[in-house]
Chains A and B, each alone.
Chain A
Amino acid sequence: MSHVVSPLRHVLIEGNKSYHNITEDLCSPTEKAPTREWYIAFLLSTAFFGLYIFTIVWTVWKGIGVWGANRTINWAWDITNFVWWIGIGHAGTLISAILLLFRQRWRTGVNRAAEAMTIFAVVCAGQFPIFHMGRVWLAFFIFPFPNTRGPLWANFNSPLLWDVFAISTYFSVSLLFWYTGLVPDLATVRDRATGFRKKMYEYASFGWTGSAKHWQRWESLSLILAGLSTPLVLSVHTIVSFDFATSVIPGWHTTIFPPYFVAGAIFSGFAMVLTLMLITRKVLKLEEYITLNHIESMNKVIVLTGTIVGVAYLTELFIAWYSGYIYEQFAFYNRVFGVYWWSYFGMMFCNVVSPQLFWSRKIRRSIWWTFFLSIVVNIGMWFERFVIIATTLARDYLPSSWSYYSPTWVEIGIFTGTMGLFFFLYLIFTRVAPVVAVAEVKSILKVAGSQYIGPNAKHGHGHDHHDSKSVPTHRTEEEA
């Protein structure tokens, strides 16, 4: 993982860290007793996780009728939440794989947590397609396995089946990628641990010794997995968008959906990464690893993808008008001015207008603004899916069947419950593994050599200059 850093660049890790500092900083959260904040957060998320289990049992026991969906709007919060979570689960792989391929070194500070987030988000997302089934106990019917029913196979024409493959593939590759990255770090934790912990980490790190051969294999595997995940980042949400795009319902039947969904997914994924990172770096005191530069970079991705999404919204409206087809036109008029107008305006404001604030460098580098807007973006992206799903179904071809949907307490419980599940997993993760990739961060830290641009540089050119450059960075952070 050697690399060349342009002398014009900012340092990626601040605070004059040595390799030892890094090990200490990043491994210590797994070694110390949790803080009170952690306990509070954990109890809260466990409570919501409990709510999740309760509402799911309730749904399976009573039937989907405990939800607010009806004969016209057969999908509502369930699939909205599914797409929302799946979208959130996009940032991790993008950061690990695509940014790796684009040699974006700043990714090392955030990729571990982002990948973990991806996995947990996919876990949450997966709950919805499973439990929205009327007969979840027969969910195994969707797998194409040899059987005595004919044999009767799954329907390979169905986008829902593609979903099954897309999501399970995405989940397994992401999990593998994440864990592969974890192995050397777990070994580091192991080396520092004693007793039972040592034993556990020994198993978890597969007997990693750090030999050159290990590193070489590790790097090859990482590269292969990166190569595998890169198309997945694009394919998963493309296929999720097919759930709608291949239908005949005006407002769903749109060719723009795949790119629009992918951009939206990256958009919401980055927003979620930001929300989490801002908390994590504060709580775990990782400000020097997850720096303002990281935040700014991610905000740039947000303003880009937010704008892409905005263009997509406008394109949809244009195409609806241009199509001259009344059902299409009506579907979009209805989105904007219909019974659910508030969700459309919520979506437009949160997704298109609010990220434009990031054109300002000051806001881009402001922790509070970033935190606030990252939440706004995720609210907006939730609205987007709600607009696409519920609003569209509520008013389709036959006016006789038009209906209105509002959620029941069970649906609200399930949604907030998956947030509990998500944070439950994430909080455990912060306790058992380094939330920043230790080995990868070390690879971008140079304490010596011609590439070294830190304050103690012994030789090279323009050190003073770089030195002075790195100082204002600190200052900016302090100002913020």
Chain B
Amino acid sequence: MLHYNSRHMHHDNGIWVSADDLNREDKFLQSAEREFSLENVDQTDGKWEASRRDFLKILGFGLGAATLASCEIPVKHAVPYVSKPDEIVPGVANYYASSFVNGGDYCAVLVKTREGRPIKIEGNTLSSITKGGTSARAQALVLGLYDTKRIKNAGSVANGEVQTKEWAVLDREIKAKLAENGNIRIITGTILSPTAKKALAEFTVKYPNTRVVSYDPVSSAALLAANEQAFGIRAIPSYKFEDARVIAAFDADFLGTWISPVEYAVAYAKRRKIFAARGGKMSRHYQIESHMSLSGSNADNRILVKPSEQGAAIVALYNELSGSSGGPKLNEKAAAAIKKMAEDLRNARGKSLVISGSNNVAEQLYVNKINELLGNLNNTIDFSAPSYQRQGDERQLAEVVTEMDNGRVSVAIVWDANPAYDYPDGDKFKSAFAKVGTRISFSGTMDETTALCNYSAPKHHILESWGDAEPKAGHYSLIQPTIAPLFSTRQAEHSLLEWADSANLNRNDEQPYYQYLKSHWASDLFAKQTKFGTPAAFWDMSLHDGVFEMPAAARSVSFNSAASLDASAVTQPSNAEIEISFFETVNIGNGQYADNPWLQEMPDPITRTVWGNHLLVPVEYEGKKIKGWKGLIEGDVVEVEVSGKKLTCTVTPTFGQMPGTVAIALGGGREKGGSGTGYGVNVNGWTKVAGGLVQYAGVANVSDKTGTDALYACVQHHHTMGVQVQEGDKKVNADELEFFEGALTNRSVIFQTHAKELEKMGEKMEEFHAETTHLNEQTLYPDNKDYFGTGVKWGMFIDLNACVGCGACQVACVSENNVPLVGKNEVRRHHEMTWMRIDRYFYGNLENPRVVYQPMMCQHCDNAPCENVCPVNATNHSMEGLNQMAYNRCIGTRYCANNCPYKVRRFNWLDYTTADLWPGNEEKVFHANGDDKPFYADNLVRMVLNPDVTVRTRGVIEKCSFCVQRIQEGKLTAKRENRALTDSDVRSACQTACPTGAITFGNLNNPESSVNKARKEAGVFAYKVLEEINVRPGVDYTAKVYNSNESIS
């Protein structure tokens, strides 16, 4: 508008607006000067004064504008694909076969992706190892992908931070260091990948001073060594739990953590589901241990021996079977029990199985010999396709540490290992490691070892990686990326090949390691098979299936007589007052999984505590009360001294902990463990080394109570189903809340019996069903039984005999249904949000009780007490028998949660998902370690959310929906294909996660459905929890049957 203001500047651009303008008439110029004159407004006197109408106009505009401005909600644009990838249909999930591999942990999986994001792990049924089962660790895999604490760039490491460097720069620097010709040591965990081994071999060829050492976070080195001595094979046999009628496990938690728990649980359950295979003989499971492990909790007989008596117990069994004598002394009770166990084992010749988790070669040799004596070799112990899931030997690592300490190592590369955390003598490792000139870590997250390195070459997350695995000889499993790398990371194998200047790595390819892997399969594995004619077909099919298995040639082994048994080399009993043992937990292992909040918040199956490890002390019965040893109660803090090192631990009194012993889990106290930093204590320093092998036991000195842990979080306290103690001459229930006979034991929650009393139990159950039917008929209300008689009626069946309590279903549910994490403090306040939980009840003998696990989720009652009390109809019943929640309608009175007899409804006490419109109320919700903003406020973390499931806001109730989104999807699929629904269309997340098939879900109105069949098979032993209160649950359970050797007290 400048050109109106000055005659001089006018027409500089040769533009005029009218004839007046062109002529520069005064009138025009005047008016141009006063462009914004108010002349024409209704103020004729020329003075600016707002009239009433103006005022109102401006007021109206101002108010409107202010309102509009304040109402504005930030718009997030969803940008459609410019060219849509073929395989992505918005709203439709894609599944890719892949593998979960972490060190020696292995599970064949399918990765569910939505719109290109991996969001859920399913089991791969094509694998003959895991057979579609998963573990909690596998289920939690997806969360790790979206961990905000992942290392995002390559670079040098200083003060625990990565200083970004271009990969090319990093490569140049590292290559220069490698070329210096010093000793190179690569420290790894178990490597299952044949292609990775090939890459390592190439690296070693390029740098001949390289040595690769593997060790496992929890060692099985003695087992490998013993197998090598006894059978000439340094591997782990396939244990055929499905064929074993008697199982004796010496401190081996084969259902929880030992070597291949998913595989073993699948096999083990086959002989436990007695109703499915009626007439089939139920196995008998002995567990010989001091602390209650997951396997021990499933055992029929637990024989309590102190950690130092493990050797004595094994020798005692050997002596019993071989008729020899000698060896270390065992406590009398255990000795007597082992005698009886030996009888059982002998009677099941060739059909029994003895295993040991011991890391003492002599003990493992004894176990091998025992299996030979029992005729188990080549029967239940099969070396045709040995397992490679543990390959580590910590003695090699110790050698490398010595080398490093002597300054003889110039480059150390750490891959899939964290020795700075889990090496028994952490300080020694750290000081030795510091003497290495160049320290490189492949870790994708900042862990204790990476923080000590000077280079970080972060690898992809496994869901971004290509790779393969050979968990067992001839069983190959592929890993394929399901998302493009989120950060500037690179596969470890790629880095190695890059540094080795490998000619086989095509650097110009978009995915060089993919080509490398593919060519390895084409050149190496293709030749080993005959099924496929071309390498391309072989590759495509293997990638599609995720696994490729070659039939194994039968291979029989015999015990090498040169391997001598030496009773003096086994662990010798100690006279110490208190012995301590260290064990691996189902969820966080020896700290490898500590940075995964899903696993941290998954309650431990036995103690049901979350976020951290605790000192487990035995319980005692004193003064008619159950108390912890020394009068310690849950959450007390004590000081514990083991081999001169003192730590402060929180106490959990635990049933089944042998008097005179305590135990504590490994894996706590991570100093640099991402979200898991700072929970619990690191007890790796307490382990001792004997013969170069780490021994997970010791002698402890426990102080009296020194304080209380204000954050002690446990979801289920020690309410039992009535454990019994001897009082005078009769057995009484010990639980402090058991006021009268049967108050706890007679609850219609759990039914359990000994296998030999099955018939009697059947009669009892029949009577119970008759009584409840009668009671439930006494109603004024019209019967709505026919209401669900047509169409689909969803129901579930849970076999308590198959459930081992591993918790895979629980994490699967969290993953599938966007169940929020709440953090330790909120769990402490019993605000956990899990839709599904596994209740753990103790019963039987106080000193050595049995355990029953009961997966508990919404029972979808047809006469639901929650539905009729909701004032706003927010929870209601579908015609298909689903108890539904309309989150948008819920106003949060919580009456439904009170009135739920199963207490499965969960209330959003705080803004756990950060879904509120206003922030500032989130300081108490879960913040991952060291984060300013809540866990879910990060967009990266939110990528893990299942888009099919609503994220719930503060103030509403939520609960298990029977995976209604899966039901809907299955129904739509069936409808589109114009056919009836089948079982395979709809499978709930917990069902698919379960390794043992304990959970069956389906249409009750379909007589052919597996859920109906399972119910029918269980017959009278199928029951509904609290059957007599006429809420008509949609979930059936079976009575729990145990098969203990009654002659052992």
A132: interface (CB < 8 Å) = yes
Q: A74-B907, A330-B739 are in contact. List 19 more A-B contacts (CB 8 A).
A: A62-B924, A65-B826, A71-B897, A74-B898, A136-B891, A141-B871, A141-B872, A141-B889, A155-B871, A158-B870, A160-B893, A247-B865, A248-B865, A397-B749, A398-B856, A399-B749, A400-B839, A401-B716, A403-B830
Cross-interface CB contact of B889 among A75, A152, A157, A164, cutoff 8 Å:
A152
Cross-interface CB contact of A400 among B854, B895, B897, B908, cutoff 8 Å:
B854
With a cutoff of 8 Å between Cβ atoms, the chain B residues found around residue A75 in the complex are: 894-895, 898
Contact flag A138-B868 (CB < 8 Å), given A247-B898, A330-B739: no
A142: interface (CB < 8 Å) = yes
Verify A247–B955 contact, CB threshold 8 A: no
With a cutoff of 8 Å between Cβ atoms, the chain A residues found around residue B899 in the complex are: 247-249
C-beta contact mask, B841-882 vs A, less than 8 Å → 1, else 0? Answer: 100000000000010100000000100111111000000000
A54: interface (CB < 8 Å) = no
In the complex the two chains form, what is the Cα distance from A387 to B527 in whole Å?
A: 76
With a cutoff of 8 Å between Cβ atoms, the chain A residues found around residue B865 in the complex are: 247-248
How many residues of B are in contact with the other chain, CB < 8 A? 65
In the complex the two chains form, what is the Cα distance from A80 to B641 in whole Å?
A: 48
Binds B, one of A7-15, A200-208, A233-241, A332-340: A332-340
B3: interface (CB < 8 Å) = no
Cross-interface CB contact of B895 among A135, A158, A327, A329, cutoff 8 Å:
A158
List, sorted by A's number, 12 A–B pairs whose CB atoms are closer than 8 Å.
A61-B921, A65-B831, A71-B832, A72-B903, A134-B907, A135-B955, A135-B956, A142-B871, A154-B871, A247-B865, A398-B901, A402-B719
Q: Which of A72, A327, A398 has the most CB of B within 10 A?
A: A398
Which B residues between 545 and 566 are near A, CB-CB below 8 angstroms?
none
A133: interface (CB < 8 Å) = yes
Verify B891–A138 contact, CB threshold 8 A: yes
With a cutoff of 8 Å between Cβ atoms, the chain A residues found around residue B743 in the complex are: 326, 329-330, 333
Q: Nearest 10 CB-CB pairs, A to B?
A: A134-B892, A134-B955, A65-B909, A399-B719, A400-B839, A70-B830, A65-B910, A401-B903, A74-B894, A135-B955
For residue B1012, give the distance in angstroms from its CB to the closest CB of chain A. 26
Q: Which of A62, A135, A139, A399 has the most CB of B within 10 A?
A: A399
For residue A163, give the distance in angstroms from its CB to the closest CB of chain B. 8
With a cutoff of 8 Å between Cβ atoms, the chain A residues found around residue B81 in the complex are: none
With a cutoff of 8 Å between Cβ atoms, the chain A residues found around residue B1026 in the complex are: 397
Q: Considering only CB atoms, which chain B residue lies closest to A153 in the complex?
A: B873
C-beta contact mask, B729-748 vs A, less than 8 Å → 1, else 0? Answer: 00000000101101110110
Verify A398–B839 contact, CB threshold 8 A: yes
Which A residues between 326 and 384 are near B, CB-CB below 8 angstroms?
326-327, 329-330, 333-334, 337-338
With a cutoff of 8 Å between Cβ atoms, the chain B residues found around residue A460 in the complex are: none
Verify A154–B955 contact, CB threshold 8 A: no
Cross-interface CB contact of A398 among B749, B898, B911, cutoff 8 Å:
B749
For residue B852, give the distance in angstroms from its CB to the closest CB of chain A. 11
With a cutoff of 8 Å between Cβ atoms, the chain A residues found around residue B957 in the complex are: 134
B755: interface (CB < 8 Å) = no
Residues of A at under 8 Å CB distance from B?
Answer: 61-66, 68-72, 74-75, 129, 132-136, 138-139, 141-142, 152-155, 157-161, 164, 243, 246-249, 326-327, 329-330, 333-334, 337-338, 393, 395-403
Verify B872–A248 contact, CB threshold 8 A: no
In the complex the two chains form, what is the Cα distance from A397 to B895 in whole Å?
A: 16
In the complex the two chains form, what is the Cα distance from A449 to B911 in whole Å?
A: 73
With a cutoff of 8 Å between Cβ atoms, the chain A residues found around residue B746 in the complex are: 326
Verify A249–B955 contact, CB threshold 8 A: no
In the complex the two chains form, what is the Cα distance from A233 to B841 in whole Å?
A: 47
For residue A64, give the distance in angstroms from its CB to the closest CB of chain B. 6
Verify A71–B906 contact, CB threshold 8 A: yes
Residues of B at under 8 Å CB distance from A?
Answer: 716-717, 719-721, 737, 739-740, 742-744, 746-747, 749, 826, 829-832, 837, 839-841, 854, 856, 865, 868-873, 889-895, 897-899, 901-903, 905-911, 918, 920-921, 924, 953-957, 1025-1026, 1029, 1031
In the complex the two chains form, what is the Cα distance from A110 to B1025 in whole Å?
A: 54
In the complex the two chains form, what is the Cα distance from A334 to B744 in whole Å?
A: 12
For residue A154, give the distance in angstroms from its CB to the closest CB of chain B. 6
Main secondary structure of the interface of B (DSSP, over half): loop
With a cutoff of 8 Å between Cβ atoms, the chain A residues found around residue B911 in the complex are: 63
For residue B383, give the distance in angstroms from its CB to the closest CB of chain A. 43
In the complex the two chains form, what is the Cα distance from A329 to B741 in whole Å?
A: 11
Q: Considering only CB atoms, which chain A residue lies closest to B886 in the complex?
A: A152
In the complex the two chains form, what is the Cα distance from A136 to B749 in whole Å?
A: 36
In the complex the two chains form, what is the Cα distance from A248 to B854 in whole Å?
A: 22
In the complex the two chains form, what is the Cα distance from A164 to B865 in whole Å?
A: 20
With a cutoff of 8 Å between Cβ atoms, the chain B residues found around residue A396 in the complex are: 901, 903
Verify A399–B908 contact, CB threshold 8 A: no
Contact flag A155-B873 (CB < 8 Å), given A71-B832, A135-B955, A399-B841: yes
Verify B856–A134 contact, CB threshold 8 A: no
With a cutoff of 8 Å between Cβ atoms, the chain B residues found around residue A337 in the complex are: 739
In the complex the two chains form, what is the Cα distance from A62 to B919 in whole Å?
A: 9
Q: Which of A63, A136, A249 has the most CB of B within 10 A?
A: A63
With a cutoff of 8 Å between Cβ atoms, the chain B residues found around residue A400 in the complex are: 716, 719, 837, 839-841, 854, 856, 903
Verify A133–B955 contact, CB threshold 8 A: yes
In the complex the two chains form, what is the Cα distance from A139 to B737 in whole Å?
A: 39
Verify A338–B737 contact, CB threshold 8 A: yes
For residue B833, give the distance in angstroms from its CB to the closest CB of chain A. 8
Contact flag A72-B830 (CB < 8 Å), given A63-B954, A141-B889, A333-B739: yes
Q: Considering only CB atoms, which chain A residue lies closest to B828 in the complex?
A: A70
Q: Considering only CB atoms, which chain A residue lies closest to B861 in the complex?
A: A248
With a cutoff of 8 Å between Cβ atoms, the chain A residues found around residue B907 in the complex are: 64, 71, 74, 134
Q: Considering only CB atoms, which chain B residue lies closest to A149 in the complex?
A: B889
Verify A399–B871 contact, CB threshold 8 A: no
Contact flag A63-B841 (CB < 8 Å), given A157-B868, A326-B743: no
Q: Considering only CB atoms, which chain A residue lies closest to B920 in the complex?
A: A61
In the complex the two chains form, what is the Cα distance from A157 to B877 in whole Å?
A: 14
With a cutoff of 8 Å between Cβ atoms, the chain B residues found around residue A65 in the complex are: 826, 829, 831, 909-910, 924
Verify A142–B903 contact, CB threshold 8 A: no
In the complex the two chains form, what is the Cα distance from A132 to B907 in whole Å?
A: 12
Contact flag A133-B869 (CB < 8 Å), given A333-B739, A398-B903: no
With a cutoff of 8 Å between Cβ atoms, the chain B residues found around residue A248 in the complex are: 865, 899, 901, 1029, 1031
Verify B869–A160 contact, CB threshold 8 A: yes
In the complex the two chains form, what is the Cα distance from A139 to B891 in whole Å?
A: 7
In the complex the two chains form, what is the Cα distance from A133 to B870 in whole Å?
A: 12
In the complex the two chains form, what is the Cα distance from A329 to B739 in whole Å?
A: 10
In the complex the two chains form, what is the Cα distance from A65 to B742 in whole Å?
A: 36
Q: Which of A157, A396, A400 has the most CB of B within 10 A?
A: A400
In the complex the two chains form, what is the Cα distance from A397 to B749 in whole Å?
A: 8
Cross-interface CB contact of B869 among A62, A158, A164, A334, cutoff 8 Å:
A158
In the complex the two chains form, what is the Cα distance from A433 to B830 in whole Å?
A: 49
Cross-interface CB contact of A63 among B829, B893, B909, cutoff 8 Å:
B909
With a cutoff of 8 Å between Cβ atoms, the chain B residues found around residue A136 in the complex are: 891
Contact flag A63-B908 (CB < 8 Å), given A338-B737, A396-B903: yes
For residue A237, give the distance in angstroms from its CB to the closest CB of chain B. 18
With a cutoff of 8 Å between Cβ atoms, the chain B residues found around residue A249 in the complex are: 898-899, 901
For residue B946, give the distance in angstroms from its CB to the closest CB of chain A. 23
For residue A408, give the distance in angstroms from its CB to the closest CB of chain B. 9
Verify A135–B871 contact, CB threshold 8 A: no
In the complex the two chains form, what is the Cα distance from A330 to B746 in whole Å?
A: 11
Verify B829–A68 contact, CB threshold 8 A: yes
With a cutoff of 8 Å between Cβ atoms, the chain B residues found around residue A401 in the complex are: 716, 839, 902-903
In the complex the two chains form, what is the Cα distance from A329 to B747 in whole Å?
A: 12
Cross-interface CB contact of A135 among B856, B870, B890, cutoff 8 Å:
B890
With a cutoff of 8 Å between Cβ atoms, the chain B residues found around residue A393 in the complex are: 898
For residue B543, give the distance in angstroms from its CB to the closest CB of chain A. 44
In the complex the two chains form, what is the Cα distance from A159 to B873 in whole Å?
A: 12
Verify A134–B902 contact, CB threshold 8 A: no
In the complex the two chains form, what is the Cα distance from A402 to B749 in whole Å?
A: 14
In the complex the two chains form, what is the Cα distance from A142 to B890 in whole Å?
A: 10
With a cutoff of 8 Å between Cβ atoms, the chain A residues found around residue B897 in the complex are: 71, 74
